[in-house]
Chain A
Amino acid sequence: MKIDPVTLEVFRNRLDAIAQEMQNTLLKSAYSIMLKEGGDCSCALFSAAGETIAQAVSNPIHLAAFLPAAQHVLARFPAATMREGDVFVLNDPYNGGTHVPDVIVMVPVFAEGVLIAIGCSLGHHQDMGGMAPGSMPANATELLQEGFVIPPTRLYAQGVLNETLVEILRRNVRVPDMVYGDLMAQVAAGKTAALRLGHLIDRHGLELFAAVVPALLDHAERLTRAELARIPPGTYTFEDIIDSDGIDLDRQLRIAVTVTVSAAGMHVDFAGTSPQAKGPANCPPGAVLAPVYYAVHALLGAAIPGNSGAFRPITVSVPERSILSPVAPAPVGIRYHTLKRVVDALMGALSPVLPRRVPAAPHGSDLCMSWGGLDADTGRAFVYMECTTGGTGATWHSDGVDHMACDIGNSRNIPAEAAEIDFPVRIWANRLRIDSGGAGEFRGGLGVERVVELRRGEVTVSHRSDRHFTPPWGLGGGWPGARWTTLVERADGSRDTVPGRLIFRLSAGERVVGLTGGGGGHGDPLDRPPSAVFDDVSDGKVSVQAARKLYGVVIGADARLDAAATASLRATMARRGPAIDRGMRGWALEITNGESDDRGAIASGVTLSAPTSSRKAAP
């Protein structure tokens, strides 16, 4: 059956709306703070053949994540064996899952007794058991330490709940009611797909639906190929760095990428990437697709439908037994930062040929913490989870945005008032981190300073973040953004530095101080108008010292812009070349070599002594 362009477009919108409705159902009926406030969940519609047909707007990291899941479910439970009322569940990273806390629920959809689609949802659960609250132990060395593993399994068989599975699951997680509530919200999302697709097929007929799906995929493929043709053919390479695997804290890991653009499409080869790690920086098989598809989609334009057809012109190869293709039972819990670095590497590789599309590197991490323990007042187990983001990279025409999620992540922060109502924590600060945005003609977005205290009892903190040692790179003469830093303020007044991935204990009254990273700058800071730098100083985004050192802008003792001094200072300053500034041995050292400078000190994670801003009322 030939599908005309009008019918195609009508169906594309309809299927997107169904995916969005699934997402609405999931968000609204979820229980946990990560889903309800953080929005760490996604929904998609799959074809009976396991291809993405439509996706709901949410976290890009989840979207391609459904591909391996659908394939594994279909391999274990062939379409012919599926029945109406069945619901499948899995979280096994080596059988289609991502990492243990991400539970994927799939609801097969039937028409006239034939499997026609699968309604998929993924929710990041508050806890799935294992050695650390939140089920992402930074120091795991094998999968089973990370949590309770569910291979592709029937959660419902023809409408009957698998009580045995649920009982065993509840006994293996720290917050059983919450896990069960979120799981049922996912089931509701999948059932939404079945209901709406049923209406669609009643209306338009199975034959038309069956013909539309491949036509939609073909259309997306043609669109992707047309956009790919805008990238000059050639081979482009880049490398970026991950702090460590959480076990060998002093050993950095490498993402190496070679991108080949040709008439055949785009081939992405990760040869040269670090071998499989002991700790959980590994990514489960297939996980690398998410950042690759994200990067290509963002670079080529959002008008491309997010279905499997769009992915056909893109091939990916990963070296075996590498951090991108580990062998079971290697731990994979903290694959998130590794996948973010995959995006950075791809963007870096294509930056020379797409100067008007690739921004400087964004913050490159998230401050993810899970605090787990018994509430001393109520005696109940709890897991408090939060993710705090940093600044985005400056672009070829604009400053980066402060505190905004980027690339494959897109979670919301947790309001202090929401956290303190529900958990024994106190948020003492959540404010802009001065000087954290990479200097440039266009400045990188700023990270934040977040201070969280435990109010009572004792908890185990699972702390996960990255770019504590290699800052987000600057582009076209821009400086790198500030690195991430986390300190623990102990009851006795001492301070510990957290090297990114760490499990530690925290007692009542102790605080975690997180300084999140800034985005890289774009262009030579000497090209930034002095008035823009002055505004940044007035608004507490750039310190007086940094304005002088990095931008050559002089602010007088009267807090006014000194235009004459600025002009003469700028005349003496060397212009920066266009090369990518990776800051490996860069500005932090350079700056701290002179007089003492807070910016350098913070960035190198040595001490915490933020420059005071004029706008803060002194106590």
Chain B
Amino acid sequence: MTIIAVDIGGTFTDICAIFEQAGARRLSWTKEPSTRTDPVLGVVRGVTRILEEIGQPPSSVTRLLHGTTVGTNAVLERRGARIGLLMTDGFEDTLELGRGFRSNMYRLDPEPETPGFLAPGRRRRAVPERLDADGEVLIPLDEDALRRAVTELVVQEGVEAIGVCYLFSYVNSAHERRTREIIHALYPGLPVSLSHEVDPVFREYERTCMTALDAYLRPVMTGYLERLSGALRTAGIACDVLTMQSRGSLASTRAAGARPFTTLLSGPAAGVVGAQRLATEAGFPDCITLDMGGTSADIALITEGKPITTANGSIEHYPLRTLMVDVNTIGAGGGSVAWLDEAGGLRVGPRSAGAEPGPACYGRGGSEPTVTDASLVLGYLSPEQFAGSIDVDPDAAHRAIERLAQRLGLPLLETAEGIHRIVNARMADEIRLVSLRRGFDPREFALVLFGGGGPVCGWAVARELEIATALVPFAPGALCAYGLSTAALEYDEAVTVKSRADTVDPAALEAAFARLDVAGARRMAEDGVAAADVTAARSADMRHIGQSWELKVPVAAPVTAAAVAATVASFNQLHERIYGHVSDHGAAEFVNLRMTHTHAIDRDLRRSVPAAPHMTAPAPMRRCYFRDLGGMVDTAILTRAAIAPGTTVRGPAVIHQFDTTTVVGPGWSCQADAHGNLVLKAD
């Protein structure tokens, strides 16, 4: 058996294979340039290549997992389906109106922060109908008006899919369901997204966004997944393709096509899941991931071996109310530009030189100093580090930093070190905000470092946060693919109940959970998973009456009066941890009930330590800058392969490997663990 994991990124597609050879499991990975116009081509090319490299036939592939940016790109590049939107009369503009809030207070030429592009006014229709908050019908559905509206949308506007969002449909879905019947009577097979199925939770703007996104992405995602499966079958791979969801677990092709917005943050989620698996295996179930790339740094929190998720995320400024790994992004990356403000203050980012023109040292026309240029000046990176991909010009990096240093009136090295100190402090600030918002003290966590810049800056960020341990995965470049190959198949069902905990009928909650259980179990059965291999977990979004921010707490099965009391107690505990106080006024209430069905595909996956790809051995010593040591000092330069498990490298040291560079600062030491990871520890 062979498991193939494919992570399609903007520039490269990472491919990872887990296979059996001589009775042992092995892991191999490679990179293939992404094919932007049709990502399927790059996937098939990469999969074919890795199978040749490992000498396994296509027929041996039992599972193919992938993370995709198809949905994300369709939103960012406005390339989704042409959709119509049907709304309760009076609310036909909800998608475009949003909440009226703006995110940049001081901008005098603001841009819209609502996704009106999903369905501009000409493709939205008001439908006479109205329910009240209890689901009682105030105005019956006007079926003739509805038929006219649908016909107009299809005939005049040529819509390829229709979204329907009526007020309070999550309480009573009859009007939405009848609407679908009518649409299908007129246009059989036209894709229809109903808000009570997509996101059965209150607040109409957020639910409308989800419904419109669903309709907008569904034809795109279904078409893509069909083409991918077809192309893979042609290449001899017949197994089902599983897709990474934003929440950090997998979905079948059918499920991903049916709920395309669940994959919008597929890529970052795969990285976090990979980090979670590695860190947990390495003995760090509580960790914070720091993925520092070219333009930004992604931060996520993992507690008790599980990534923290959120149901209130966003894409651009648009609300994305689906469970997702809570990845927090700040504009701090290798390409972040260092600049002087009008008063001589040194700033770093958020503007990035990106990959084009890139840092000054790339020699692609960039002349502004960046974090990567500073890394070169400080000696952390060396030109051979970039071997193969980019011809790096260290002199250009020096010139760029020198120009800044002269204007700043600081020596060259202090300027370069200052750039690092500022960007590191910004990452530390964000990590503090992210963890404290969840009620966690970052000092109790390990830091997992990946992305091109994470292992370079990580020890200093850890020191700033008083974090004692940092982990550099065995193959940071293959982390997403690794996350894919170890993730579980998982589905989530939710329903709004809005009941006071002190008066709720436990039997009613039990019945609601039972309905969610049936729905989730059905999805698993559709994917061919035996009921015995599925675990189901119940939770509830709770709040104090009057509050509008919910906290998710587990609920024991079956729901009895005692279980309700226990749930309230754990809600109060969580509330106190996060907000520092328990309400002594508002009683607790259940807002949404959730049920998660999980099939841990390969609980026993074990991997052997992979051989590191070949690279030229660097010089044994180089001058590197460390402020604590007073300047440039002789620093040991090692290759990753040279560090055997159990040996300890004392900082300062720089460790190069195929896909990253790890800096071990003074006062820190580094060991390779039994899994092939580097573990950095503060003395």
Closest chain B residue, CB of each to CB of A434: B121
- A618 to B127 CA separation, bound complex (whole angstroms): 8
With beta carbons under 8 angstroms apart, the residue of A184, A396, A405, A535 that contacts B100 is A405
Q: Is A223 an interface residue (CB 8 A)?
A: yes
- Stretch of A19-27, A244-252, A256-264, A276-284 contacting B (4+ beta carbons < 8 Å): A19-27
Q: Which of A33, A420, A613 has the most CB of B within 10 A?
A: A420
- Stretch of B20-28, B87-95, B258-266, B520-528 contacting A (4+ beta carbons < 8 Å): B87-95
- A402 to B425 CA separation, bound complex (whole angstroms): 38
Which residues on the A side are within 8 Å of B111 (C-beta)? 398, 401
Q: Which of A8, A404, A539 has the most CB of B within 10 A?
A: A404
- By the criterion CB–CB under 8 Å, are A615 and B585 in contact? no
- By the criterion CB–CB under 8 Å, are A31 and B133 in contact? no
- By the criterion CB–CB under 8 Å, are B105 and A540 in contact? no
Chain B residues 318 to 365 lying within 8 A of chain A, measured CB to CB, are: 341-348
- By the criterion CB–CB under 8 Å, are B345 and A5 in contact? yes
Q: Is B125 an interface residue (CB 8 A)?
A: yes
- Stretch of B42-50, B73-81, B576-584, B639-647 contacting A (4+ beta carbons < 8 Å): B576-584
- By the criterion CB–CB under 8 Å, are A177 and B145 in contact? no
With beta carbons under 8 angstroms apart, the residue of B103, B133, B145, B148 that contacts A421 is B133
Q: How far is the CB of B641 from chain A (nearest CB, A)?
A: 36
Which residues on the B side are within 8 Å of A33 (C-beta)? 548
- By the criterion CB–CB under 8 Å, are B101 and A617 in contact? no
Q: Is A71 an interface residue (CB 8 A)?
A: no
- A191 to B581 CA separation, bound complex (whole angstroms): 11
Known: A25-B579, A618-B148. A404 touches B113 (CB 8 A): yes
Q: How far is the CB of B301 from chain A (nearest CB, A)?
A: 15
Chain B residues 108 to 154 lying within 8 A of chain A, measured CB to CB, are: 108-113, 120-122, 124-128, 132-133, 142, 145-146, 148-149
Q: Is A4 an interface residue (CB 8 A)?
A: yes
Q: Is A585 an interface residue (CB 8 A)?
A: no
- By the criterion CB–CB under 8 Å, are B202 and A21 in contact? no
Q: Is A496 an interface residue (CB 8 A)?
A: no
- A9 to B430 CA separation, bound complex (whole angstroms): 15
Q: Which of B106, B142, B425, B581 has the most CB of A within 10 A?
A: B106
Known: A33-B548, A405-B100. A14 touches B167 (CB 8 A): no
- A430 to B579 CA separation, bound complex (whole angstroms): 34
- By the criterion CB–CB under 8 Å, are A413 and B99 in contact? yes
Q: Is B107 an interface residue (CB 8 A)?
A: yes
Q: Is B188 an interface residue (CB 8 A)?
A: no
- By the criterion CB–CB under 8 Å, are B579 and A431 in contact? no
With beta carbons under 8 angstroms apart, the residue of B124, B168, B204 that contacts A615 is B124
Which residues on the B side are within 8 Å of A418 (C-beta)? 202-203, 548
Q: How far is the CB of A411 from chain B (nearest CB, A)?
A: 7
Q: Is A105 an interface residue (CB 8 A)?
A: no
- By the criterion CB–CB under 8 Å, are A619 and B202 in contact? no
- A617 to B93 CA separation, bound complex (whole angstroms): 13
Which residues on the A side are within 8 Å of B124 (C-beta)? 615
Closest chain B residue, CB of each to CB of A389: B100
- By the criterion CB–CB under 8 Å, are B99 and A9 in contact? no
Q: Is A429 an interface residue (CB 8 A)?
A: yes
With beta carbons under 8 angstroms apart, the residue of A28, A299, A404, A616 that contacts B126 is A616
Closest chain B residue, CB of each to CB of A188: B580
- By the criterion CB–CB under 8 Å, are B100 and A412 in contact? yes
- A298 to B345 CA separation, bound complex (whole angstroms): 20
Q: Is A178 an interface residue (CB 8 A)?
A: yes
- A320 to B583 CA separation, bound complex (whole angstroms): 46
Closest chain B residue, CB of each to CB of A26: B579
With beta carbons under 8 angstroms apart, the residue of A13, A27, A180, A431 that contacts B92 is A431
Q: Is B508 an interface residue (CB 8 A)?
A: no
Q: Is A561 an interface residue (CB 8 A)?
A: no
With beta carbons under 8 angstroms apart, the residue of A21, A28, A397, A416 that contacts B167 is A416
- By the criterion CB–CB under 8 Å, are B341 and A616 in contact? no
- By the criterion CB–CB under 8 Å, are A615 and B101 in contact? no
- By the criterion CB–CB under 8 Å, are A13 and B100 in contact? no
- By the criterion CB–CB under 8 Å, are B586 and A29 in contact? no
- By the criterion CB–CB under 8 Å, are A413 and B583 in contact? no
Q: Is A440 an interface residue (CB 8 A)?
A: no
Which residues on the A side are within 8 Å of B126 (C-beta)? 431, 615-617
- By the criterion CB–CB under 8 Å, are A417 and B202 in contact? yes
Which residues on the B side are within 8 Å of A36 (C-beta)? 547-549
- A31 to B548 CA separation, bound complex (whole angstroms): 8
Which residues on the B side are within 8 Å of A100 (C-beta)? none
Q: Is A574 an interface residue (CB 8 A)?
A: no
Q: Is A286 an interface residue (CB 8 A)?
A: no
Q: How many residues of B contact A (CB 8 A)?
A: 81
Q: Is A483 an interface residue (CB 8 A)?
A: no
With beta carbons under 8 angstroms apart, the residue of B347, B414, B578 that contacts A9 is B347
Q: Is B37 an interface residue (CB 8 A)?
A: no
Q: How far is the CB of B159 from chain A (nearest CB, A)?
A: 13
Q: Is B432 an interface residue (CB 8 A)?
A: yes
- By the criterion CB–CB under 8 Å, are A5 and B121 in contact? no
With beta carbons under 8 angstroms apart, the residue of A16, A21, A29 that contacts B581 is A29
Q: Is A302 an interface residue (CB 8 A)?
A: yes
Q: Which of B205, B345, B544 has the most CB of A within 10 A?
A: B345
Known: A181-B586, A538-B122. A617 touches B105 (CB 8 A): no
- By the criterion CB–CB under 8 Å, are A5 and B546 in contact? no
Q: How far is the CB of B548 from chain A (nearest CB, A)?
A: 4
Which residues on the B side are within 8 Å of A539 (C-beta)? 120-122
Closest chain A residue, CB of each to CB of B466: A203
Closest chain B residue, CB of each to CB of A449: B90
Q: Which of A6, A180, A223 has the most CB of B within 10 A?
A: A6
Chain A residues 279 to 302 lying within 8 A of chain B, measured CB to CB, are: 294, 297-299, 301-302
Q: Is B282 an interface residue (CB 8 A)?
A: no
Q: Is B67 an interface residue (CB 8 A)?
A: no
- A39 to B102 CA separation, bound complex (whole angstroms): 11
Q: Is A117 an interface residue (CB 8 A)?
A: no
Contact pattern, A 49-72, Cβ under 8 Å of B = 1, otherwise 0: 000000001101000000000000
- By the criterion CB–CB under 8 Å, are B580 and A191 in contact? yes
Q: How far is the CB of B585 from chain A (nearest CB, A)?
A: 4
- By the criterion CB–CB under 8 Å, are B102 and A403 in contact? no
Known: A395-B108, A615-B124, A617-B89. A410 touches B580 (CB 8 A): no
Closest chain A residue, CB of each to CB of B130: A428
Closest chain A residue, CB of each to CB of B202: A417
Chain B residues 525 to 557 lying within 8 A of chain A, measured CB to CB, are: 544, 546-549
Which residues on the A side are within 8 Å of B503 (C-beta)? none
Q: Which of A180, A294, A429 has the most CB of B within 10 A?
A: A429
Q: Is B379 an interface residue (CB 8 A)?
A: no
Known: A420-B132, A539-B121. A223 touches B342 (CB 8 A): yes
Which residues on the B side are within 8 Å of A549 (C-beta)? none
With beta carbons under 8 angstroms apart, the residue of B109, B202, B345 that contacts A223 is B345
- By the criterion CB–CB under 8 Å, are B100 and A29 in contact? no
Known: A5-B418, A6-B422, A420-B132. A403 touches B98 (CB 8 A): yes
Q: How far is the CB of A447 from chain B (nearest CB, A)?
A: 10
- By the criterion CB–CB under 8 Å, are B145 and A31 in contact? no
Q: Is A547 an interface residue (CB 8 A)?
A: no
Q: How far is the CB of A345 from chain B (nearest CB, A)?
A: 15
17 extra interface residue pairs, beta carbon distance < 8 Å, beyond A28-B549, A405-B102? A6-B421, A21-B436, A27-B549, A31-B583, A181-B544, A181-B585, A221-B343, A226-B343, A359-B108, A402-B96, A402-B112, A411-B101, A415-B205, A416-B91, A416-B167, A431-B126, A616-B89
Q: Write 12 A-B pairs (CB below 8 A) sorted by A numbering.
A: A5-B345, A13-B426, A30-B547, A31-B546, A32-B546, A33-B548, A388-B100, A405-B101, A406-B102, A613-B121, A617-B127, A618-B148
Closest 8 CB pairs of A and B: A539-B121, A429-B90, A222-B343, A226-B342, A6-B418, A223-B343, A617-B149, A36-B548
Which A residues fall within an 8 A CB radius of B?
A: 4-6, 8-10, 13-14, 16-17, 20-21, 24-25, 27-33, 36-37, 39, 57-58, 60, 177-178, 180-181, 184-185, 188, 191-192, 219-223, 225-227, 294, 297-299, 301-303, 357-359, 388-389, 392, 395-398, 401-406, 410-413, 415-418, 420-421, 426-432, 448, 451, 535, 538-541, 613, 615-619
